[in-house]
Amino acid sequence: MKNYADPRMHTVEHILNQTMVQLFGSPRCFSSHIERKLSKCDYHFRQLEEHEIR
């Protein structure tokens, strides 16, 4: 397991991943950087269809 500055950050990463799966059908993040001041999770999304762009 990664060494988190705050263990709650690890829990939030799990909650965010599950939220992305449920709302957007995205797989879990393929990359994450969790730090005290700045964090990010990277996800792959499907291509938008033409009618979704308009």
The DSSP bridge pattern shows strands 40-42 and 31-33 to be antiparallel
pLDDT computed for residue 30 by the predictor: 94
Low-confidence ranges of the chain (pLDDT < 50): none
pTM: 0.72
Query: Do 36 and 12 meet the contact criterion of CB atoms below 8 Å apart?
Result: no
pLDDT computed for residue 9 by the predictor: 87
pLDDT computed for residue 2 by the predictor: 62
pLDDT computed for residue 1 by the predictor: 54
C-alpha closest to that of 39 among 22, 18, 17, 19:
17
